[in-house]
Amino acid sequence: MIVKLLLDRKREGRELAPDEIYALVAAYTRGEVPDYQMAAFAMAVCCKGMTDAETLALTTAMRDSGDSLSWDDLPLPTADKHSTGGVGDKLSLVIQPLAAACGLGVPSLTGRGLGLTGGTADKMESIPGYVAGLSLADYRKVVAACGCSLTVQTGEIAPADKKLYALRDVTGTVPSIPLIVASILSKKLAEGAGTLVFDVKCGAGAFMKTRPEAAALAKALVAGAKGAGRKAVALVTAMDEPLGFTVGNALEVQEAIDVLKGESGQAARSPGDVVELSVELAARMVALAREMPLDEARALCRARLADGSAWTRFAEMVRLHGGDLAAFQKELDKVPPPRLVVAAANGFVAAIDAQKVAQAAFELGAGRAQATDAIDPAAGVRLLVAHGDKVSAGQPLAELYAPARPERLAVAARLAEEAISVSGDAPAARPLVLEVVE
């Protein structure tokens, strides 16, 4: 293989053969193709795109750069949900145990967050003792025992993606649908679930800002997953406003626990959007994996949430990961009182800017700018109002928690004030699910 000739052809927009792409990725993973050539390849793909066949070849080549898990020994249909990431997105914490309680095996490798807020692994690690970094052998044992496990992805899964993503991140080559699809799908295919449900977030607080971009990614993910022999569906869902009332690691875990227990906990009320979207996404997993009509799957998910069996699965998963939920509750009780953000005028909550709320959470210590930065699990924002609520001047709108960096409260309060728009007119209701791609 002469890499320069492949680069020439890709630059001219010509199609590469699957075995050429496969050989390129394998050589890059072995360290035989330098970063500058792979960066040139990524840029050529960004500018010229890829055919479906090329995208599938890139996906399978990256999948095969590491281990692929098989769940044939698990006597259950398997499914997983992947979210492209949004503000306050704690849905995995509800969906994985809920789908497990509905009779699925849910192998779900997850990530730590780099950016404004933590990833699912960071959230789970705010539970004292919880070990997110299990070996693949221990991860398999947890899935076999309780149906689900929120474990951080190990280096054995799709190492080519890890290497290529780091390169794309610094060469302006992240925003390319074929590269994103290959990156997401290579990992999901290697994890081995038979059904994949994608939650493609769309809006100001999401990676995909516009409806056409989000729909294109959703279609490409579903086509790629089906092309690789999996059952798949994607939902394009709204991400202009945060999901639920909380943004921050321990706060989000607490909110997910409240949803699983069917309580509103410390919040004034239950986060209806988290419940609705969790049930919808879990029902899609159940319907596809168990070949059940969607309405029946929705009813089953609602029943398993209401009868406490999803909560039991979550508590068991946490115990098997070494986590201590009683200690988690004690830690929360020790957090100093929050700073309040109050309404400046009477009116209705017209919009809550997800990006600004995430920036406020970051200022408070809930995210990390570099992989080595520490996260403060207790830091974050709890909204006290939702879209469309009637509010009066002086009414508290949000609580800000920053036990480790109180000096950042003032700047976070400004961001939170800007994030919550109050207007004289009641706003229209917001749909959560914008599009379904099957």
Q: Which residues are catalytic?
A: 82, 161, 168, 183, 187
Residue owning tokens 């390169």: 167
Choice between 34 and 175, CB closer to ligand URA: 175
The tokens describing 231, both together, are: 């059952």
Phi, then psi, of 18 in degrees rounded to 5: -55, -40
| Residue 167 CB, nearest approach to ligand URA (Å) | 11
Give the span between the Cα atoms of 403 and 334, in whole angstroms: 10
Phi, then psi, of 197 in degrees rounded to 5: -115, 125
Q: Which residues pair with 401 in a beta bridge?
A: 380
Residues 172-191 touching ligand URA, rule: CB under 6 A, are 174, 179-180, 183-184
Choice between 40 and 384, CB closer to ligand URA: 40
Residues 152-171 touching ligand URA, rule: CB under 6 A, are 165
Q: Is 393 helix (H, G, I), strand (E, B) or coil?
A: coil
Choice between 163 and 298, CB closer to ligand URA: 163
The tokens describing 377, both together, are: 């699990």
Give the span between the Cα atoms of 366 and 325, in whole angstroms: 20
Residues 372-391 touching ligand URA, rule: CB under 6 A, are none
- Would you say 208 and 214 are in contact if contact means Cβ atoms under 8 Å apart? yes
Please report how many Cα atoms fall inside a 13 Å half-sphere around the Cα of residue 355, on the Cβ side: 9
| Residue 174 CB, nearest approach to ligand URA (Å) | 6
| Residue 377 CB, nearest approach to ligand URA (Å) | 24
Give the span between the Cα atoms of 129 and 336, in whole angstroms: 22
Binding residues for ligand URA, rule CB under 6 A, total: 6
Choice between 179 and 385, CB closer to ligand URA: 179
| Residue 147 CB, nearest approach to ligand URA (Å) | 24
Contact map string, positions 118 to 157, toward ligand URA, x by CB under 6 A: ----------------------------------------
Asked if 43 interacts with ligand URA (CB under 6 A), we say no
Nearest Cα neighbor of 252 from 111, 90, 84 is 90
Residues at the site binding ligand URA, with contacts judged by CB under 6 A: 165, 174, 179-180, 183-184
